[in-house]
């Protein structure tokens, strides 16, 4: 367990250090490696579970990301001058996309419970949020530090 925690800390520090480059780009591979280590550790995935879990998770995340992009696109359209009928159509499209996302999440949760325990599955959403918050905090700290050096 200590070894996994050290790996997670190393990966997060690597991301923070890499993120300090002026061009503000990040290494997607390092980010995903850190996410894998963080989630694996926090929900205590066993190697045999991880082998089946990660392909399902990655496929779900890819589909979810595409749907979020579609919803963002609808939101951008809503911020332009449109008629009431166009606005009504956008509302219906957004609700349809949100329902599709919910249906997709239900399917994913059903599928992964064949691979991991229900208690692991229920922790997954919160663990994902924790990882995102941790990255956000690291980025905020880096931004504050950069502000002092100017």
| pLDDT tens sequence across 122-134 | 999 999 999 999 9
Please say if the pLDDT value at position 15 is more than 70.
no
CA gap 99, 71 in Å, rounded: 11
Please give the C-alpha separations between residue 150 and each of 18, 24, 138, 145, in angstroms, as whole numbers.
19, 16, 19, 9
Residue 2: its pLDDT value, please?
A: 56
Chain position carrying tokens 């229920």: 122
Nearest-CA neighbor of 127 among 48, 63, 19, 44? 44
How much of the chain exceeds pLDDT 70, in percent?
A: 77
Residue 6: its pLDDT value, please?
A: 47
Please say if the pLDDT value at position 144 is more than 80.
no
| pLDDT tens sequence across 17-66 | 555 544 456 678 888 899 999 999 999 999 999 999 999 999 999 999 99
Residue 150: its pLDDT value, please?
A: 44
Residue 3: its pLDDT value, please?
A: 58
How many other CB atoms are found less than 10 A from the CB of residue 137?
10
The better pLDDT of the pair 84, 17 is held by: 84
pTM over 0.85: no
């Amino acid at each position: 367990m200590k070894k996994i925690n050290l790996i997670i800390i190393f990966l997060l520090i690597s991301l923070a250090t890499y993120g300090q480059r002026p061009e503000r780009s990040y290494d997607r591979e390092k980010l995903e490696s850190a996410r894998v280590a963080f989630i694996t550790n926090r929900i205590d995935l066993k190697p045999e579970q991880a082998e089946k879990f990660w392909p399902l998770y990655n496929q779900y995340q890819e589909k979810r990301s595409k749907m979020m992009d579609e919803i963002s696109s609808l939101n951008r359209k809503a911020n332009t001058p449109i008629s009431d009928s166009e606005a009504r159509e956008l509302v219906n499209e957004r609700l349809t996309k949100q329902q599709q996302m919910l249906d997709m999440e239900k399917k994913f949760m059903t599928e992964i419970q064949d691979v991991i325990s229900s208690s692991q599955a229920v922790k997954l959403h919160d663990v994902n949020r924790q990882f995102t918050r941790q990255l956000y905090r690291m980025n905020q700290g880096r931004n504050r530090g950069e502000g002092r050096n100017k």
